[in-house]
């Protein structure tokens, strides 16, 4: 399959690498061109512009940080919508607001194109291993066309509905719950430590005695090891962006989300201390500091 891929951050590079390894004809574009060098050396075509990537094949994937980046890339004379052929598919795999996803889906439809929302679950090592969870929302035929690409990148594709915005809402809800889980773990680890329980012991109790799930094992270990200032798999700044998406989605849908406010405040506090580029488990660091456990 001929595929264009736009957005080569750490997640995007890992995902594009899986597509390339699966034998697909891949063209890659990133604003910082050097991020494409490894993929090009392995056989990908370097696209010099967004339009070149979008014209490469019938499917164009975007993996972008935020709404602003996707909106700027999609519109304009040299943008994604203007460059894609009629009938072509745009697969948006970043985490974006419901309002933007709905607007882009309508713009693609007006241009005779199709949009699929397919945000992903998993940190960069999961993407590198091709084990992402993919939440796919869009017309059934378009999702089926993209299935070989999803299979290359993920362990499972979850059918999230016939609209791209349905997939976006599912991802927003997942990240909202994950943020609340990290906050709760931070509180639990802080209480256990202040009462004399070692972090490694509490992690074992948590993950083998109660929550045997990847999120608790992955994030619980970071908290137990106090490794929140190590390499970020998902930054505090990006986490705050997603929390704000959840608050906006809840307000629009008339759904109260009281737990989310605590996570938001922890992230705002950490970012104000210069930790915006650190892993979003700094929520637990903020809890530890509030508990007198960290300077």
Q: Tell me the pLDDT tens digit for each residue of 182-207.
A: 999 999 999 999 999 999 999 999 99
Task: Report pLDDT for 20.
Answer: 98
Q: DSSP secondary structure string, 257-269?
A: -HHHHHHHHHHHH
The first and second tokens of residue 28, run together, are: 């890659």
pLDDT over threshold 90, residue 67? yes
In this predicted structure, the answer to whether residue 295 has a pLDDT above a threshold of 90 is no
H/E stretch holding 286 reads helix 282-290
Q: What is the pLDDT of residue 33?
A: 92
- 171, 226, 241, 273: the active-site residue: 171
Is residue 224's pLDDT more than 80? Answer: yes
Give me the pLDDT at residue 294, please: 84
Average pLDDT, integer, range 125-134: 97
Mean pLDDT (the chain, rounded): 96
Domains in the chain, ordered, with CATH?
A: 2-162 (3.40.50.720), 169-290 (1.10.1040.10)
Q: State residue 18's pLDDT score.
A: 98
Looking at residue 276, what is its pLDDT? 97
Closest CA to 63 of 53, 52, 76: 53
Average pLDDT over residues 229-244: 95
Q: Output helix, strand, coil percentages for the chain, rounded to the nearest 5.
A: 55, 15, 30
Beta strand spans in the chain (E): 2-6, 25-29, 45-46, 59-62, 89-92, 114-117, 120-121, 132-136, 154-159
Active site residue 171: yes
DSSP state of 33: G
Say whether pLDDT at 82 is over 90: yes
Query: Per mean pLDDT, which range of 102-106, 133-137, 209-213 is the poorest?
Result: 209-213
């Amino acid at each position: 399959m001929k595929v264009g891929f736009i957005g080569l951050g750490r997640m995007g590079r890992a995902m594009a690498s899986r597509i390339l390894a699966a034998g697909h004809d891949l063209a890659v574009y990133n604003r910082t061109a050097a991020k494409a060098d490894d993929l090009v050396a392995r056989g990908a075509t370097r696209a010099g512009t967004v339009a070149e990537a979008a014209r490469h094949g019938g499917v164009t994937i975007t993996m972008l940080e935020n709404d602003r980046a996707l909106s700027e890339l999609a519109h304009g004379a040299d943008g994604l919508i203007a460059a894609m052929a009629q009938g072509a598919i745009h697969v948006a795999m970043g985490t974006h607001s419901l309002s933007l996803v709905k607007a882009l889906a309508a713009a693609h439809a007006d241009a005779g194109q199709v949009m699929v929302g397919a945000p992903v679950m998993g940190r960069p090592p999961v993407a590198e291993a091709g084990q992402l969870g993919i939440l796919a929302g869009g017309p059934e035929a378009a999702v089926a066309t993209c299935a070989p690409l999803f299979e290359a990148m993920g362990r499972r594709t979850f059918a999230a509905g016939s609209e791209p915005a349905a997939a976006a809402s599912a991802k927003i809800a997942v990240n909202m719950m994950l943020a609340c889980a990290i906050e709760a773990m931070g509180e639990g680890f802080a209480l256990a430590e202040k009462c004399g329980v070692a972090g490694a012991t509490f992690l074992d109790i948590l993950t083998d005695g109660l929550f045997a799930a990847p999120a608790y094992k992955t994030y619980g270990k970071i908290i137990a090891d106090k490794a929140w200032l190590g390499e970020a798999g998902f930054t505090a700044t990006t986490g705050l962006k997603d929390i704000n998406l959840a608050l906006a989605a809840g307000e629009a849908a008339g759904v109260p989300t009281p737990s989310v406010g605590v996570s938001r405040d922890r992230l705002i506090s950490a970012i104000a201390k210069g930790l915006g580029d650190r892993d979003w488990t700094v929520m637990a660091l903020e809890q530890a500091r509030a508990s007198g456990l960290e300077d």
